[in-house]
């Protein structure tokens, strides 16, 4: 065989290998977040990276979760783990049925597990109780931290892929130094913006519920969320998904206006320094390479 023919064969082989790697890479999920549902009616969020898919909370039906996976080209068999942030119904209502359909570990804190087992008679063997804040799920390193909410053992979490950081934090009445530290340098942040103070004040909730929502163990207002974004150490470009918006005490336009006004007043340029998303069910937010 002539040298030219050998060279051509080697070139063809190299192209074939390159094409195979391109196919493999394209089949792996990007580092991204896909909010299936967010708010008092139910919460469920997918975090994906390569071959790892984590469901954060299961507050909607198993059918809706399955359909959400299908929307991003995945099935229940591709689910790597479930993380439950706390035991309130809007974060775990679909968990019992989901566990009947798939055999995946449920990561949560001890207090949350006890509440889930007692309320729903779930098998403790389904749970991986977190005894430390750092652990690994597939291709992602996870770090959890406590939030300030009226639940047994509520948590937020940060996910690392070695290059980028994604942080999830909802259902907290305040942002303390530990939470800020976990928010710091996040490339993508899922952050609660639950209520507008005026809408809550004049809204339909009874006084005790209004007091709970606005209290230190309740939820973040739009203003609280904006201040947290200003206080955290931000990367060159931060992507933020504003989440857990109240259906009765907030509106998407109000969130956008409040947060944008606060950020631009401090000199930040929207879509250059920070880009805001609202976690629409058909929207996937991917960390920029």
- For residue 50, what pLDDT is reported? 95
Average pLDDT over residues 225-229: 99
Residue 59 belongs to a domain: yes
pLDDT at 22 over 50: no
Count of C-beta atoms within a 10 Å radius of residue 93: 21
Residue 12 belongs to a domain: no
pLDDT at 29 over 90: no
CA distance 222 to 212: 16
The 10s digit of each residue's pLDDT in 204-223 is 999 999 999 999 999 999 99
- For residue 14, what pLDDT is reported? 53
* Confidence at 72, pLDDT banded by 50, 70, 90: confident
Assigned token pair, 31: 């580092």
CA distance 159 to 116: 24
264 CB-near residues (< 8 Å, 6+ apart)? 270
Query: Which tops the pLDDT comparison, 10 or 214?
Result: 214
- The domain in which residue 239 lies consists of 28-286
Least confident stretch, 18-22, 64-68, 179-183, 228-232? 18-22
- The CATH number assigned to the domain holding 135 equals 3.60.15.10
Residue 68 belongs to a domain: yes
Q: Closest Cα to residue 235, out of 170, 289, 172, 156?
A: 289
pLDDT at 282 over 90: no
* Confidence at 7, pLDDT banded by 50, 70, 90: very low
Query: Which tops the pLDDT comparison, 72 or 19?
Result: 72
How many domains in the chain?
Answer: 1
- For residue 27, what pLDDT is reported? 53
Name the DSSP letter for residue 80: -
CB of 43 within 8 A of CB of 170?
A: yes
- For residue 31, what pLDDT is reported? 94
CA distance 95 to 118: 14
CB of 216 within 8 A of CB of 173?
A: yes
Average pLDDT over residues 173-177: 99
Least confident stretch, 84-98, 149-163, 269-283? 269-283
- For residue 283, what pLDDT is reported? 77
Assigned token pair, 107: 């990561």
Q: Closest Cα to residue 225, out of 188, 189, 249, 199?
A: 189
Residue that has been written with the tokens 């390193």 in this structure: 141
- For residue 67, what pLDDT is reported? 94
Residue 125 belongs to a domain: yes
The 10s digit of each residue's pLDDT in 119-165 is 998 999 999 999 999 999 999 999 999 999 999 999 999 999 999 99
Residue that has been written with the tokens 């974060």 in this structure: 91
pLDDT at 1 over 70: no
Element (H, E) at 173: none
Assigned token pair, 285: 């937010």
Order of all β-strands in the sheet with 238-243: 134-137, 140-146, 155-160, 165-169, 188-192, 238-243, 274-277
Name the DSSP letter for residue 49: E
């Amino acid at each position: 065989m002539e040298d030219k023919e050998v060279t051509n064969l080697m070139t063809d082989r190299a192209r074939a290998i390159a094409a195979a790697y391109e196919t493999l890479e394209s089949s792996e999920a990007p580092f991204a977040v896909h909010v299936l549902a967010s708010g008092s009616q139910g919460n469920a969020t997918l975090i994906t990276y390569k071959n790892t898919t984590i469901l954060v909370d299961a507050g909607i039906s198993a059918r809706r979760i399955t359909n959400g996976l299908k929307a991003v080209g995945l099935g229940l068999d591709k689910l790597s783990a479930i993380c439950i942030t706390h035991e309130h119904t809007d974060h775990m209502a679909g968990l019992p049925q989901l566990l009947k359909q798939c055999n995946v570990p449920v990561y949560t804190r001890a207090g949350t597990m006890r509440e889930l087992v007692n309320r729903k008679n779930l098998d403790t063997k389904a749970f991986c109780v977190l005894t430390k804040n750092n652990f690994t799920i597939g291709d992602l390193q996870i770090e959890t931290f406590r939030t300030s909410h009226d639940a047994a053992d509520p948590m937020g979490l940060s996910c690392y892929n070695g290059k980028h950081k994604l942080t999830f934090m909802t259902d907290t009445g305040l942002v303390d130094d530990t939470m800020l530290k976990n928010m710091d340098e996040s490339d993508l942040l899922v952050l609660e913006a639950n209520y507008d103070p005026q809408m809550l004040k004049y809204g339909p909730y009874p006084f005790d519920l209004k007091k709970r929502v606005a209290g230190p163990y309740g939820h973040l207002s739009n203003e609280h969320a904006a201040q947290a974004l200003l206080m955290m150490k931000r990367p060159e470009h931060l992507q933020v998904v504003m989440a857990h918006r109240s259906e009765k005490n907030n509106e998407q336009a109000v969130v956008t206006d409040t947060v944008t006004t606060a950020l631009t007043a401090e000199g930040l340029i929207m879509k250059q320094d920070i880009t805001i998303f609202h976690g629409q069910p058909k929207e996937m937010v991917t960390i920029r390479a």
